[in-house]
Amino acid sequence: MFRSPVKESEPPLPLLITGIAGVAGYNAFHFFRARYGDRVIGTRRAANWLLRGEGIVACDTHDADGLKRLFDMHQFASVLSCDGTCALKSCELDPPMAWRVNVLGIENLLEVVEATTRLVHLSVDLVFSGSGAGDLNEDDATDPVTVYGKTMEQSEQLVLQERPDACVLRISLPMGVSFNGHAGAIDWIQSRFIKNKPATLYFDEVRTPTYTDCLNFTLSTILANDLCGLFHAGGPRKLSLYEIAQIVNRVGGYRASLLMGCDRSEAGPMPPRAGDVSLDSARLTKMLGFSPFDPWPFTAEFVPTDRDWHQERPVGEKGCPELLQEILYSNPQRASGIVS
């Protein structure tokens, strides 16, 4: 709930954004850095030396001493917590690693943040198994099928218990650029097609993707206000992973034969896969007073109608990586200066 009316203002500064190697954190860091300059600091894991730049600090959240030194140095007034390892197979093979990054890191963060520090924490839709019909709301029971989902569930509960004034957002697939060109959903799929390699995606794993453009604006609004509690932050359009790959394939102008599809039951047991984990974000929309997310993709003509849709290439339609950049990585509505 809000303790005061939503208002347009800047978040408390300085701002720390943890976990900027992920798509959500990476795009949020550049969004806030462009607005507030050196009053925004982002952290990446110490071993991730490829991610460098102004305002980027090597600091593992599971390193309690290093995290405390960082807070002592900058006296952060707000924190956007995006850290976590989402590598499903790695988490299954090494549960202690997943716990160290996804749970211990949050425990340490909660130890060093001041009681007055504004805290917004990102969780994920994979705290659900997706065994039902989707459209999951905040009152639905969590039942993750992966180590990743289980540790993310633990971390969100830690935040809710220790900091009832914090806001926890369960996000779905954030659609934007990644720092290394293959960390995000679009990047990974496109990286296969660029190399003329096949990509196999699931017909029955369903998500509610969001443009990072929309997510950044939503995070800015929430950080600047006092919305607290648990909220779902998924987009309004439900898509299977296969449908997402169809869109990338056709909009990018890649060979249709490179895309393969199957049900989760036909895949191997490692890692386990969730089903329909589409999120119902009505509660967040109601609290904000506006719809925070445009559908991804924004243009309805690029939404698949059947499993062969990506093979259709109407005369005059010229898919290319540049078009993909314009309408899949970026929300054309916001790029044009029009905000719905």
Q: Looking at the domain assignment, is residue 139 inside a domain?
A: yes
Q: In the chain, how many domains are there?
A: 1
What pLDDT sits at residue 167?
A: 98
Residue 117 lies in a domain: yes
Please tell me whether the peptide bond between 297 and the residue prior to it is cis, using omega within 30 degrees of 0: yes
pLDDT along the chain (340 residues), means of 10: 58 96 95 97 90 93 93 97 90 94 95 96 98 96 96 97 97 92 88 95 97 96 96 98 98 96 88 95 96 95 96 89 94 61
Domain CATH for 146:
3.40.50.720
The pLDDT value recorded for residue 7 is 59
In a domain, 114, yes or no: yes
pLDDT at 337: 44
Q: Is residue 260 part of a domain?
A: no
State pTM to two decimals: 0.94
DSSP secondary structure letter of residue 338:
-
Does residue 4 fall inside a structural domain?
A: no
**Residue 249 maps to a domain:** no
Whether 20 contacts 44, CB under 8 Å: yes
- Name 292's Cβ contacts closer than 8 Å, sequence gap at least 6: 214, 217, 218, 221, 233, 281, 284, 285
Per the domain annotation, does 262 fall within a domain?
no
Helices 147-162 and 105-112 cross at an angle (nearest 10°) of 20
What whole-number distance in Å separates Cα of residue 334 and Cα of residue 88? Answer: 32
Task: Find the domain containing 323 and state its range.
Answer: 15-242+268-335
Written as six digits, the tokens of 150 are 């289980």
